[in-house]
Structure 1
Amino acid sequence: MLERFNKHIIQNLPFLKESKLLIAISGGIDSVVLMHLCRAANFKFALAHCNFNLRGKESDADEDFIVQLADDLEIEVFVQNFETETYAKTQKLSTQMAARELRYNWFNDLATQLKFDYILTAHHADDDLETFLINLTRGTGLEGFTGIPIINNNTVRPLLPFSRLEIEAYANDNNLKWREDSTNASTKYLRNKIRHEVIPVLKDINLQLLQTFSQTQAFLKDSKAIIDDRIDDVSDKVIKDITEFEIQFDISEIKKLSHPKAYLYELLKVYGFTEWNDVFNLLDAQSGKQVFSETHRLIKDRDYLLLSDLNTEDKQQVITISECDDKIKTTAGVLFFDEADAIFGKDANRIFVDKKKLKFPLTVRHWQEGDYFHPLGMKGKKKLSKYFKDEKMSLLDKEHTLLLCSGDYIIWVIGKRADSRFKVTDKTKKIIKIELK
């Protein structure tokens, strides 16, 4: 196996030879074998062990084993203890997901602080098959069947081409010692149930299961590459615009596609949506209809679907501006207040007002139904809702629009239109320039 491992590194991961590595080691056979292979290959590495405090004395014994192993081999080791169950409860995660999150957050912190180039984990071919079957039982798109990536950002999995049987044979041939996790024998967890009850049956049916599975995954990866190329082409036609707040998808272009629902899935899957029937139904829904993921919102707005981050901004928040303030930070940018000698330059992000007409403190707030103003350059008043419609502003543009107000009166629809009631006239004695940057 060492010969195959070295060949695999030279062909596929040659950069590891010259890198500073951090090996995630649990004490189990997989990570112990990975560590010994890296040592035999003369890699430069340290070890990182997580004690999740989930198995009492057994967890502590794993930690002691790793510390002693590192000491015997004169390898630097880092150990971190976690209160995993407490973290799982506070973050509302399963114990397994909590452990995963804690583990990778710590590994990445170590890598950043101590300048490790890559983190190595001991995932192997059987892990890849188990993950495939787990995704199959839960439901997934094509990406769920293409396997654990051998390289994912700064995480590298050098053992992915090797089977559990090969790893066990190497450990036994080299008289290696490791720790057995008692929970691995339990079928309480889905992965263990698949490992102990499903995969043995599949291997009885096909003795070359891992090899044929690897071939199938290669075909799936090729298919995914073709789909990704097609999605790139479609995106150029379907995405109408990308602004600070939203991505606009042209509904008419989506409907021209042969399978709109499938394309919507490929275009939007990275944003966490799961209710794909609801997403598809937005194409023919009334304006204002919305679908949410945990992180994003998709809203129907006339001829477009608008994708945005979930807006956690408090729409009721009011910013107060005193007469002595010369700048105020808002979600739209920073407002600057300066005295001016005259009006100069036309710019949507700059207005000039008569200071005498201002009633301090001024306020900045979001627009509300029923708001109206007197647009500069027009006679009479106009409802903001009508102004937004005439300006063809999207629902999300409206949501992010802020108003600068003096008492109950709107001074400025910020960045868009000033109110004529505060304009500078020939009777103005003090001019205030208000600028958004």
Structure 2
Amino acid sequence: MPFLKGQRLLLACSGGVDSVVLAHLCVAEEMDVALAHCNFNLRDEESDGDETFVRELASKLKVEVFVKRFNTEQYAEKKRLSVQMAARELRYQWFDEVLQTKGFDYVLTAHHADDSLETFLINLSRGTGIDGLSGIPEVNEKVVRPLLSFSQEEILDYAKNNNISWREDSSNASTKYLRNKIRHEIVPTLKELHPTFLRNFLNTQHYLQQTNDLVNHHLGELRAKLFEQSDGVIKIPIAELQKLQPLESYLYGLFKEYGFTEWNDVKNLLTAMSGKQVFSQTHQLLKDRDCLMLSKIKNKVKGTYTVSLDIDTSELPIKLKLEEVGALEEQGKNVVFLDKEKLNFPLVLRNWEKGDYFYPFGMQGKKKLSKFFKDEKLDVLSKEKQWLLCSDNKIVWVVGKRADERFKVDDSTKQILKITQFT
């Protein structure tokens, strides 16, 4: 992989034959590489032996080494994960940390062709789409796998022919784990079917990946056409989505990168009542009249804040400036002029609530905020983010939208308060 030349590389080294061979190859190619070893403390003295081996390997190869010890079982219990998934999560979290703090460009892992076959069979047994059948990617953001085109047999032959020593992980021999069962019982049988089975499989997987690339290219064009982004929210017209066939496949493809993998949840949202929403780990998808509204999940800024003339407005969830002025100036949605003597300080900044009403500036009589929002064509997400500035229990300003008639400047006004919202 020519693009790795000149880059700072962090090589994940367990002490097994695959990662040790990769370390030797990188040094032979004079790459700027350091070793990173995870001690998961799962095999007592054997885990410590692996750590010692990797430290000695780094010394022999004259490269830097980073070692991290984990209490993997405790982490797995806390996060309710399998030990294998906990170890994977811990490993990649640490790699990211080392990349950021030590200035490395990429993480190298020693996955090979047999690993890709095993992953394919695991995904196939659990049920998967084309993504799960396309194999382990050679490059996935900052993770690079240079040995994917080589078989386990080829790597072993290289190690033996070059007198390279390595550590055997005793847990790899156990068939109680699904991957090991596939590795020791299923893959050998498949290879017996045809002498070039692994190479044929890699070719097939390559074709699947090309097909997947075509699908993703089409979906990207479709997102560019249908997904309209504004102020951090993506709006998607439901009528256009419903024209797509097969609908379930399109919905899965369009929304999977936002964490929505249950396409029936998204499909049901198309015909749900306005205000209905579903969540992924990172995003929310909301039905709002004739559109879906897609946005990142954020910690909602809720609460009540007091606002006085001398307050440091940096403490507020929105930026406000309060100042006394001698005369009216041009007024807009983000600027209001109020009769200061009609206000009781401190003012209160809060979120809107059901049942709220105010007296819209320039109109006679009161109006429920819910009706005002409907007339303003505010979507549900915009309503959630709306702030009110109040005096006692009376709304002074629907911030950024409309002032209240009761606090307007008139002929009897002696002191004018100007409030500006900055975006």
TM over 0.5: yes
Identify if the C-alpha distance between structure 1 residues 71 and 311 changes in structure 2 by more than 3 Å, giving closer, same or farther: closer
2:116 partner letter: D
Please identify, of 322-331 and 91-100, the stretch whose mean Cα deviation from structure 2 is larger. Answer: 322-331
Q: Among residues 348, 367, 384, which one is paired with 1:363 in the alignment?
A: 348
Identify if the C-alpha distance between structure 1 residues 27 and 418 changes in structure 2 by more than 3 Å, giving closer, same or farther: same
Q: Among residues 99, 113, 131, which one is paired with 1:125 in the alignment?
A: 113
Indicate conservation of the 8 Å contact 1:326/1:338, yes or no: no
1:375 partner letter: P
Residue by residue over 1:298-317, the C-alpha shift from the partner in whole angstroms, topping out at 9 and shown as x without a partner, is 222211111222343264x2
Write the distance in 1 (CA, Å) between the matches of 2:220 and 2:57. Answer: 50
Question: Aligned ranges for residues 235-274 of structure 1 at < 5 Å?
Answer: 235-239=223-227, 241-274=228-261
Residue by residue over 1:218-244, the C-alpha shift from the partner in whole angstroms, topping out at 9 and shown as x without a partner, is 2122212221222233224422x3222
Residue by residue over 1:182-218, the C-alpha shift from the partner in whole angstroms, topping out at 9 and shown as x without a partner, is 1111222222222122222222223322212211122
Q: Among residues 397, 400, 404, which one is paired with 1:412 in the alignment?
A: 397
Residue by residue over 1:301-344, the C-alpha shift from the partner in whole angstroms, topping out at 9 and shown as x without a partner, is 211111222343264x212223421525444x312222222222
How far does residue 394 in structure 1 lie from its aligned partner after superposition?
A: 1.0
Q: Secondary structure at the match of 2:338?
A: strand
Indicate conservation of the 8 Å contact 1:327/1:337, yes or no: no
Partner of 1:281: 268
Q: Among residues 210, 220, 232, which one is paired with 1:232 in the alignment?
A: 220
Task: State whether structure 2 residue 150 is matched by structure 1 residue 165.
Answer: no
Write the distance in 2 (CA, Å) between the matches of 1:286 and 1:106. Answer: 44
Indicate conservation of the 8 Å contact 2:24/2:61, yes or no: no
Unaligned runs of 5+ in 1: 1-12
Q: Secondary structure at the match of 1:345?
A: coil
Q: Among residues 300, 311, 332, which one is paired with 1:325 in the alignment?
A: 311
Q: Among residues 395, 398, 404, which one is paired with 2:383 in the alignment?
A: 398
Write the distance in 2 (CA, Å) between the matches of 1:140 and 1:337. Answer: 58
Identify if the C-alpha distance between structure 1 residues 124 and 391 changes in structure 2 by more than 3 Å, giving closer, same or farther: same
Please identify, of 356-365 and 403-412, the stretch whose mean Cα deviation from structure 2 is larger. Answer: 356-365
Task: State whether structure 2 residue 72 is matched by structure 1 residue 87.
Answer: no
Question: Aligned ranges for residues 43-82 of structure 1 at < 5 Å?
Answer: 43-82=31-70
Partner of 1:194: 182
Partner of 2:23: 35
Partner of 2:333: 348
Indicate conservation of the 8 Å contact 2:236/2:292, yes or no: yes
Write the distance in 1 (CA, Å) between the matches of 2:224 and 2:94. Answer: 39
Write the distance in 1 (CA, Å) between the matches of 2:311 and 2:338. Answer: 16
How does the TM-score come out when normalised to structure 1?
A: 0.91
Query: For this pair of structures, how many residues does the alignment match?
Result: 422
Identify if the C-alpha distance between structure 1 residues 364 and 152 changes in structure 2 by more than 3 Å, giving closer, same or farther: same
Indicate conservation of the 8 Å contact 1:373/1:384, yes or no: yes
Identify if the C-alpha distance between structure 1 residues 81 and 279 changes in structure 2 by more than 3 Å, giving closer, same or farther: same
How does the TM-score come out when normalised to structure 2?
A: 0.94
Q: Secondary structure at the match of 1:285?
A: coil
How far does residue 29 in structure 1 lie from its aligned partner after superposition?
A: 0.7
Q: Secondary structure at the match of 2:200?
A: helix
Residue by residue over 1:29-60, the C-alpha shift from the partner in whole angstroms, topping out at 9 and shown as x without a partner, is 11011011112222221211111111111111
When the two chains are superposed, the root-mean-square deviation of aligned CA atoms in Å is 1.8
1:372 partner letter: Y
Task: State whether structure 2 residue 196 is matched by structure 1 residue 211.
Answer: no
Indicate conservation of the 8 Å contact 2:396/2:404, yes or no: yes
Please identify, of 412-421 and 274-283, the stretch whose mean Cα deviation from structure 2 is larger. Answer: 274-283
Indicate conservation of the 8 Å contact 2:27/2:61, yes or no: no
1:324 partner letter: D
Partner of 2:292: 305
Please identify, of 148-157 and 339-348, the stretch whose mean Cα deviation from structure 2 is larger. Answer: 339-348
How far does residue 147 in structure 1 lie from its aligned partner after superposition?
A: 1.7
Residue by residue over 1:150-177, the C-alpha shift from the partner in whole angstroms, topping out at 9 and shown as x without a partner, is 1122221111110001011111112211
Unaligned runs of 5+ in 2: none
Q: Secondary structure at the match of 1:18?
A: coil
Q: Among residues 17, 28, 31, which one is paired with 2:5 in the alignment?
A: 17
Indicate conservation of the 8 Å contact 2:331/2:337, yes or no: no
Indicate conservation of the 8 Å contact 1:84/1:95, yes or no: yes
